[in-house]
Amino acid sequence: MSPALIALLPFIGALLPGLLIRSGRTVAAAACGTTTLVALLGLLLHIPAILRGEVITARIAWLPQIQLNANFRIDGLSLLFGILILGIGLLIILYARFYLSRKDSVGKFYTYLMLFQGAMVGIVLSDNILLLLVFWELTSLSSFLLIGYWRHLPEGRQGARMSLAVTGLGGLAMIAGLLILGQIAGSYDISDILTAREAVQSSPWYTPALILILIGAFTKSAQFPFHFWLPHAMAAPTPVSAYLHSATMVKAGLFLMARLWPVLSGTEQWFWIVATTGLVTMLLGALIATFKDDLKALLAFSTVSHLGLITMLLGFGTEEAAIAAVFHIINHATFKAALFMTAGIIDHETGTRSIARLGGLRRLMPVTFVIGTVAALSMAGIAPLNGFLSKEMMLYEVSHLEVAKQGFMLFATLAALFSVCYSLRFFVQVFLGPERHDYPHHPHDPNFGMWAGPAFLVVLVVLIGLFPNTMAGWLIDASAGAVTGAEVETHISLWHGVNAALIMSLIAIAGGATLLSMHKPLLAAWEAAPRPEAKTIYDWVVLRCVLVGRALTDAMTNGSMPRALSAFTLATLFAGSFAWYTGSAGPVTRPMLPVTPVPLIGWIMAMVATACMVFFHRIRVLALVLVGIVGLIVSVFFAYFSAPDLALTQISVEVVTVILLLLALNFLPKRTLTETPAIHRGFDAFIATLAGLGFGGLTYAMLRRDFAFPTISSYMLDNSYKLGGGDNVVNVILVDFRGYDTFGEITVLGIAALAIFALTQTLLQGRSAKRLINWTHDQRRAGDRHPLMLVIATRVLLPISLVVGLFIFLRGHNDPGGGFIAGLVVAIALLMQYMASGYGWAQERQALPYHALIGAGVVAAGVTGLGAWFNGRPFLTSAYGYFKLPFIEEFELATAMGFDLGVFLCVVGAVMLALNSLSRIARKAGEVVNKTPMDIDLSDEHPEGAS
């Protein structure tokens, strides 16, 4: 099975629970379990090839221009983590089916779980660091949903926010680090990066990249000082906790360090940062876990400690330490998932997770007792269980560090001692002792569905402990070989003789048992001792960030648009000036063109109209007329510079906008009051003058210089006919070269029209409607609402305009025109009918569903774009051909016509829906006063343009 398909299967599984939940919880769980099982089997089929040293790859070109390719690989490390993610995920799906109550939305839970599973599988199978980053951030988002699944619990919401904030910020740092790493290696493909060890470690950017990458890994794997978020994630349902803490999210940071181990390890920076962080985390997590009363809190901090242990081993940078790290990843996943599910069983059956309220459960819950005891003893590192083996390997590696690093031996032994203590607490104080009678619920073993998963895991705990080479040796060799980049042959045994590791282990066991016997007085001292609380520090930092951000926001913005625009303009001027004076524009290479009278007169008219608009902008109708004049002069400039398409577009847009704005101004005061002092207006004029001079000077400088590199315009001029099949370069750009931009623009245009309609709906209700009814015009209205000459002229011109619009639409691919201009022409023709004869008269004679026109336009453009995929071409790539029919000249047909049709429909629908909205306001305002045919005929029975 292709690695890409394995990565895709969990996301397919995420779609199933929502579709099948009405068939029952069991069906939804079975669907997710089946998808996970198929992905797991597909992964296991590659075991023979992986054991032969092969790497299974799948490469899909996604965005090759930025080296973002959907490349996937399966090697020994991917195989290990994939088995853990999918295998334990399968057990969690079964466990959750019986753990969650009927009040819980199981469909939503399984959807979130499968999304999270897919993101984790994507991380471990990615062969491109940009693709890995996509999945990395998806794990943060999906874990946020899982941790906050019980959103009625405040601690659940807070834990979800905390995990998202910490891992999200770490992810941002990691993005920068991985981008630097990719630049150093010259590729973003992991396969290439792993071969660039010398180039990376000799680069001056090695240390910055290392620190940034490790911040991302440490936050995800809850390493000090980012350890505090993980215990707060225990507010999630126990199936989530078991999955996150054993096989998935917290292992992502370890995976990243292991994946990049061949290229980043072996330096002093790597050792002291990674190994020291791991050691501190291991000791701190074990110490805190020793004094926790909540079972899940104890296990959460123990997870932090064991993650620190693995991080420390990876930090040593030796092949033996990497083997021990890989082995402990396997062991920790087995006993920790079993322990979390055991804690969930105890909570589910007794109604409490407090150790102080538990005890004596061995007779009441014998099956749970056996499972919990075996898993806890493995966590403590007691022989002959698997946890003992990897703990001994860790202590052996610590004991063989060079003299300057012997301090690690003391602290590692101390951490192991605390580990023994909290592990013994888990089963001694929960299962042993006298039977109690004050449990919240009468405890008993659950049904098979809840204990089958943890029972299977503890069987693995025993088998791996007794037969490590048979059960896990092959997987350790494959995964450790992928980490170290060398062939690995491990031989693990229970007895290595009396050595430093065994002595340290015996000290830890004896010390842990002694510490447990003294737990009550030590607990009292722990609670009385002053100590920093990470959560308190986190809350303080978050609060201060909010306060500082709010203060800065209040200082910089007060809701004033002139103030915001002034700041934006000044920042733009500063950035442009800095770029100009620190760069090199090169010498002037183009001579000035002669200034002839016609363009000079046009330029003077544009300047005069613009200046008049500035001085008379408070007279709104006059300002609108002046804006129209400026637009018409600009369209003349376009025509003068041989841009007829732009000229036609500019003229059409000016006509439509002026008409619609005139209708809108009908409901506004005719003059704008002076609100800002003269000094503020003077400052604004100064900024505007600087901006105008700056942009004018930049334009002048660009027009006087040639470019030393090929321009985009030359490419499009050369290829518009070859690739797009059209002589009209502008139209080919819109529907082919930059069709995606146009598709986004028409979508935004449609959304804007729908927003106008929605705002109109609000205005026609409540207080706004009453104000409209009581509104009177502030000026006397003309008596003749529909001049006869205008009525006759528009009715005669309508069919002509429609034919012209059709003609412009059909010719647009090779001559000036196209869907956008044709849509504006048709919209103007329809607008004039409404203006001349009234909305009611016009609407009775043509009932166009404007909402549907917009939707049909977007769909037509989208379907045209999708058609290219069936020919293996990028989205919106057009195809064309030339045909000849009898008695007709040769003509061209292009798929771009379908896209242009979508543009046409969107433009017509948006303009007419805006007119509909303004007319409805006029109808409301005319209910009491100034009733006219235009107002009265516009009825509320057609709120959507008779759609």
What residues make up the domain containing 49? 1-161+186-195+223-251
Helix, strand, or coil (residue 478): helix
d(CA 349, CA 446): 7
d(CA 208, CA 214): 10
Residues 310 and 238 in one domain: no
Residues 323 and 228 in one domain: no
Tell whether 452 is covered by a domain: yes
> Which of 476, 491, 525 is the endpoint of a domain?
525
The amino acid at 460? L
- Cα dihedral 506, 507, 512, 517 in deg (nearest 10): 100
Tell whether 702 is covered by a domain: no
Buried b (16+ CB within 10 A) or exposed e, 779-794: eeeeeeeeeeeebeeb
> Which of 525, 544, 569 is the endpoint of a domain?
525
Residues 291 and 366 in one domain: yes
Q: What angle do CA 800, 801, 802 make, to 5 degrees?
A: 90
Residues 657 and 794 in one domain: no
d(CA 610, CA 617): 10
Helix, strand, or coil (residue 844): helix
Residues 240 and 124 in one domain: yes
DSSP3 helix / strand / coil % (the chain, rounded to 5): 75, 5, 25
Assess contact for 12 and 117: CB atoms under 8 A: no
Tell whether 66 is covered by a domain: yes
Please state the domain count of the chain: 4
Residues 613 and 673 in one domain: yes
The pLDDT of residue 759:
82
* 850-877 residue pLDDT tens: 888 888 998 998 888 888 777 777 777 7
* 308-322 residue pLDDT tens: 999 999 999 888 899
SS (H, E, C) 706-743: CCCCCCHHHHHHHHHHHHHCCCCHHHHHHHHHCHHHHH
Would you give the DSSP letter of residue 470?
A: I
Residues 505 and 630 in one domain: no
Residues 304 and 272 in one domain: yes
For CA atoms 46, 48, 49, 50, the dihedral sign is positive
d(CA 280, CA 275): 9
Count of Cβ atoms closer than 10 Å to residue 529 Cβ: 7
The pLDDT of residue 173:
92
Residues 346 and 429 in one domain: yes
The pLDDT of residue 784:
57
The amino acid at 36? T
Tell whether 323 is covered by a domain: yes
Per run of 10 residues, the mean pLDDT along the chain (length 947 residues) is: 90 88 86 93 92 87 77 91 93 90 85 92 92 91 88 84 89 92 90 90 91 93 87 85 84 92 90 92 92 89 92 90 92 92 89 86 89 92 89 88 76 91 89 82 86 92 91 89 84 79 88 88 84 81 89 77 83 88 82 86 89 84 88 89 86 87 76 74 87 88 80 82 82 84 88 86 71 62 68 86 88 84 88 78 74 88 83 78 74 82 90 81 56 38 36
Residues 475 and 356 in one domain: yes
Assess contact for 818 and 734: CB atoms under 8 A: yes
- CA distances, 184 to each of 80, 199, 271 (Å): 29, 7, 21
Assess contact for 794 and 837: CB atoms under 8 A: yes
Count of Cβ atoms closer than 10 Å to residue 205 Cβ: 13
Q: 674 in the Ramachandran plot: left (φ > 0), alpha (ψ -120 to 50) or beta?
A: beta
Assess contact for 611 and 591: CB atoms under 8 A: no
| Chain CA centroid to CA 195, Å | 30
Candidates 274, 273, 267; CA nearest to 314 is: 274
| Chain CA centroid to CA 456, Å | 36
Tell whether 565 is covered by a domain: no
Count of Cβ atoms closer than 10 Å to residue 469 Cβ: 14
Tell whether 575 is covered by a domain: no
The pLDDT of residue 931:
43
> Which of 483, 501, 525 is the endpoint of a domain?
525
* 466-506 residue pLDDT tens: 999 888 889 998 998 888 888 888 888 877 777 888 888 88
d(CA 389, CA 544): 46
Sort 612 into a burial class: Cβ within 10 Å, 0-12 / 13-18 / 19+.
middle
Tell whether 177 is covered by a domain: no
Assess contact for 909 and 891: CB atoms under 8 A: no
d(CA 261, CA 75): 14
Q: Give 390's contacts (C-beta < 8 A, 6+ positions apart).
A: 324, 327, 328, 330, 331, 332
- CA distances, 43 to each of 35, 141, 274, 630 (Å): 12, 25, 31, 66
Residues 269 and 313 in one domain: yes
Residues 350 and 240 in one domain: no
Q: 523 in the Ramachandran plot: left (φ > 0), alpha (ψ -120 to 50) or beta?
A: alpha
Long-range contacts, stretch 624-628, CB < 8 angstroms, 24+ apart = 624/658, 624/661, 624/662, 624/665, 625/658, 627/658, 628/654, 628/658
Count of alpha carbons within 13 angstroms of residue 239, beta-carbon side: 30
Name the packing angle between helices 206-220 and 249-259 (round to 10°): 160
Candidates 3, 127, 135, 114; CA nearest to 56 is: 3
d(CA 74, CA 58): 9
The pLDDT of residue 103:
82
The radius of gyration of the chain from alpha carbons, rounded to an integer in Å, stands at 36
Candidates 175, 96, 82; CA nearest to 133 is: 175
Tell whether 304 is covered by a domain: yes
The amino acid at 803? V
